[in-house]
């Protein structure tokens, strides 16, 4: 095959990945746990072409510079695995509204891993595909997997994501601020590891937290998983804030949503909040409580509801 198209969705971590054990192979310092969403897919076509250079087109515009460099480096790794040298054209359509502030690198590199490996003639199993996506962006390892995924820390061979069973959960995504974030997650992660005195505690506590979260998943204990999710996110933000110079992603509006979620819990609604490297807040709840959460949070921010979604999939290629 010389052309392949794949589609993947973003994921939101319930136990976060924040820090690398090895930057070259993109190995995480700790394992993490996530929900793959059913909204905002990224669709990527990779076509082997008779050219001297790779071409990268993102939402209809040809890209140069760092975005292209990151894709080319990724393709170089695929070519190494495939023993090939030919160049490729990469065409990506991303439906994540930039206003939603969701990381597109997870869905982007999951779709690229599937499309590129197929176009270059590699037939990777799910583990190898997840390991490959990880090299593009750590969180992309998890977007290969449908619904809920655990991504393992460890060596290159050990560090892939795989499915886990979880209690029924939906997610209300609240857009607090659509502006581009001030410090990219990649840079902030590095600064946290280099300068935050809380980073070692983050790493040791998160390794334990992941074990508890997996136990909560196994026993179907939604309330335990919810508490773990919110605490783990706040610990990540505490470690980030401890950096020098300090980085603060959560804004007063983000905190207002955390407060509203705590208030909902006080009223008997099961809901817990999390936030990635930005001000937007995602609230998990059992399906029967999602409407109440969306209504309350909808008064504070634009909201959209996401459910557990599919893993990466090959698609028919148009033309």
Which positions lie near ligand DP6, rule CB under 6 A? Answer: 13, 16-18, 26, 32, 103, 105, 137-139, 185-186, 276-277
Minimum Å gap between C-beta 77 and ligand DP6 is 14
Other CB atoms within 10 Å distance of the CB of residue 179: 10
Q: How far apart are CA 281 and CA 274, in angstroms?
A: 6
What is the end-to-end Cα distance of the chain in Å, rounded? Answer: 14
Which is nearer to ligand DP6, 108 or 264 (by Cβ)?
A: 108
- What is the enclosing helix (H) or strand (E) of 285? strand 281-285
Which is nearer to ligand DP6, 15 or 48 (by Cβ)?
A: 15
Q: Which two tokens stand for residue 115?
A: 């499309």
Minimum Å gap between C-beta 235 and ligand DP6 is 12
Minimum Å gap between C-beta 319 and ligand DP6 is 31
83 φ/ψ angles, rounded to the nearest 5 degrees: 65, 40
Which is nearer to ligand DP6, 41 or 138 (by Cβ)?
A: 138
> What are 46's strand-pairing partners?
4, 90
Which is nearer to ligand DP6, 103 or 111 (by Cβ)?
A: 103
Which is nearer to ligand DP6, 173 or 269 (by Cβ)?
A: 173
Which is nearer to ligand DP6, 13 or 169 (by Cβ)?
A: 13
The answer to whether the peptide bond before residue 88 is cis (omega within 30 degrees of 0) is no
Strands (E), 29-135: 32-36, 42-49, 55-58, 61-62, 87-94
Q: How far apart are CA 114 and CA 179, in angstroms?
A: 30
Minimum Å gap between C-beta 195 and ligand DP6 is 17
Minimum Å gap between C-beta 34 and ligand DP6 is 6
Q: Is 9 exposed, middle or buried (0-12, 13-18, 19+ CB in 10 A)?
A: buried
Minimum Å gap between C-beta 14 and ligand DP6 is 9
Position with the least CB separation from ligand DP6: 138
Largest CA distance in the chain: 63
Minimum Å gap between C-beta 236 and ligand DP6 is 7
CA 111 vs CA 4, 107, 198, 311: distances in Å: 10, 6, 34, 10
Q: How far apart are CA 17 and CA 193, in angstroms?
A: 12
Which is nearer to ligand DP6, 17 or 199 (by Cβ)?
A: 17
């Amino acid at each position: 095959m010389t052309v392949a198209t794949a589609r993947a969705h973003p994921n939101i971590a319930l136990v976060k990945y924040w820090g690398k054990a090895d930057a070259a192979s993109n190995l995480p310092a700790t394992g993490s746990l996530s929900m793959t969403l059913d909204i905002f897919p990224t669709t990527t076509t990779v076509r082997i072409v008779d050219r001297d250079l790779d071409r990268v087109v993102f939402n209809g515009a040809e890209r140069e510079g760092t975005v292209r460099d990151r894709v080319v480096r990724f393709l170089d790794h695929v070519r190494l695995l495939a023993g090939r040298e030919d160049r490729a054209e990469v065409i990506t359509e991303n439906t994540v509204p930039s206003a939603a502030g969701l990381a597109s690198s997870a869905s982007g590199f999951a779709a690229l891993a599937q499309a590129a490996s197929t176009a270059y003639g590699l037939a990777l199993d799910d583990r190898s595909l997840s390991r490959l996506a990880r090299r593009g962006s750590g969180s992309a390892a998890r977007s290969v997997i449908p619904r809920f995924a655990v991504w393992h820390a460890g060596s290159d061979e050990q560090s892939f994501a795989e499915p886990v069973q979880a209690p029924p959960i939906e997610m209300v995504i609240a857009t607090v601020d659509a502006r581009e974030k001030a410090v990219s997650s990649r840079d902030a992660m590095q600064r946290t590891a280099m300068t935050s005195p809380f980073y070692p505690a983050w790493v040791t506590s998160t390794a334990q937290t992941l074990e508890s979260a997996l136990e909560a998943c196994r026993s179907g204990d939604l309330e335990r998983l919810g508490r773990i999710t919110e605490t783990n996110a706040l610990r990540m933000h505490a470690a980030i804030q401890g950096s020098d110079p300090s980085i603060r992603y959560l804004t007063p509006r983000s905190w207002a949503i955390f407060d509203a979620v705590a208030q909902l819990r006080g009223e008997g609604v099961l809901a817990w909040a999390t936030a990635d490297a930005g001000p937007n807040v995602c609230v998990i709840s059992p399906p029967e409580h999602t409407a109440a959460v969306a209504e309350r949070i909808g008064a504070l921010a634009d909201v959209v509801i996401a459910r557990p979604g599919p893993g990466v999939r090959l698609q028919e290629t148009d033309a």
